[in-house]
């Protein structure tokens, strides 16, 4: 599970699973859904931070994204979308949906906190991305999908950075390095594909945080896809916590 502070709790495709007309409404009313996703995350973070402070346990940077949190965030985003759409047009249909999602979001927040906030005891943020270099070389023309993760000294792996696309229509070479190593990172992994499938692991062992990776002339190899990031070690609930693993 990724950390909440890594962002990307839900995608536009995730919202479509909740409400098939969400993109049409946003387009028709001139509403930026990505802004609403970020705004909903900020509101969710504020409530979680207040809860953890009240329990005197955990910090926002430790919170992992679980199914309940994704559910809550999606409903908060849809609530914000239909609220704006309603006040744009004072359309009763939008008003009814706004109130519907507002009620659902409030109920889901109650369920989420009752179940408890999952935290990682040694959180490791995902890397922001990689610096990709394409130069003259002997690799055949290709397009690449690239992701990276970082690992800590115990081998625990972060969530992956967003997919980056790079390529060349000419013979070339391809190399990459981390843009920035998050706190606690002891190494990094690179995942690459030359098709629409998930990028696969390319390095046999974690690279040093300052180490450059170079695609060999044998090309992209098959490998496991990136993991989902750190799981919860502990669940913080009102009145106490439950240690899941130690």
User: How many C-beta atoms lie closer than 10 Å to residue 59's C-beta?
Assistant: 12
pLDDT (0 to 100) of residue 27: 93
Residue pair 150/209 in contact by the 8 Å Cβ criterion:
yes
Minimal CA–CA distance to 54: which of 195, 240, 187? Answer: 240
In the three-class reduction of DSSP (H, G, I as helix; E, B as strand; rest coil), residue 105 is classed as: helix
* Whole-number pLDDT of residue 105: 98
| pLDDT tens readout for residues 107-142 | 999 999 999 999 999 999 999 999 999 999 999 999
Residue 89's pLDDT is 77
Using alpha carbons, select from 206, 171, 162, 168 the residue that is nearest to residue 187. 206
pLDDT, block means (10 residues), the chain with 246 residues: 92 95 93 96 98 95 97 98 88 89 97 96 96 97 97 96 96 97 97 89 97 97 93 90 67
Entry pTM: 0.88
What pLDDT, on a 0 to 100 scale, did the predictor assign at position 245? 63
**Cβ-count burial of 57 within 10 angstroms (0-12 exposed, 13-18 middle, 19+ buried)?**
middle
Sheet with 213-214, side-by-side order of all strands? 130-139, 172-178, 213-214
> Where are the domains positioned within the chain?
4-119, 130-214
Question: Crossing angle for the helix pair 67-89 and 92-115, nearest 10 degrees?
Answer: 160
pLDDT at 246: 54
Q: How many Cα atoms within 13 Å fall on the side-chain side of residue 107?
A: 6
Summarize pLDDT for 185-198 with one digit per residue, the tens: 999 999 999 977 78
Pairing of strands 187-193, 142-151: antiparallel
**Which H/E stretch holds residue 145?**
strand 142-151
The Cα–Cα gap between 243 and 116 comes to 11
């Amino acid at each position: 599970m990724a950390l909440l502070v890594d962002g990307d709790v839900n995608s536009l495709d995730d919202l479509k699973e909740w409400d098939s007309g969400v993109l049409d409404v946003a387009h028709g009313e001139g509403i930026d859904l990505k802004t609403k996703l970020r705004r909903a995350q900020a509101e969710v973070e504020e409530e979680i931070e207040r809860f953890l402070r009240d329990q005197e346990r955990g910090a926002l940077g430790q919170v992992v994204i679980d199914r309940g949190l994704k559910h809550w965030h999606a409903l908060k985003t849809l609530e914000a979308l239909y609220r704006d759409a309603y006040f744009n047009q004072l359309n009763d249909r939008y008003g009814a949906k706004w109130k519907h999602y507002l009620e659902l979001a409030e109920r889901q927040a109650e369920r989420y906190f009752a179940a408890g906030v999952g935290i990682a005891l040694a959180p490791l943020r995902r890397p922001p991305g990689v610096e990709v270099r394409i130069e003259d070389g002997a690799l055949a023309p290709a397009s690449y999908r690239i992701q990276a993760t970082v690992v800590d000294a115990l081998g625990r792996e972060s969530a992956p950075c967003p997919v980056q696309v790079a390529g060349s229509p000419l013979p070339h070479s391809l190399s990459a390095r981390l843009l920035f190593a998050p706190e606690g990172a002891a190494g990094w992994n690179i995942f690459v594909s030359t098709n629409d499938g998930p990028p696969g692991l390319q390095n046999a062992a974690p690279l040093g945080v300052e180490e450059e990776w170079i695609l060999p002339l044998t090309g992209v190899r098959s490998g496991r896809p990136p993991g989902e990031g750190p799981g919860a070690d502990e669940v913080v609930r009102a009145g106490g916590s439950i240690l899941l693993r130690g």
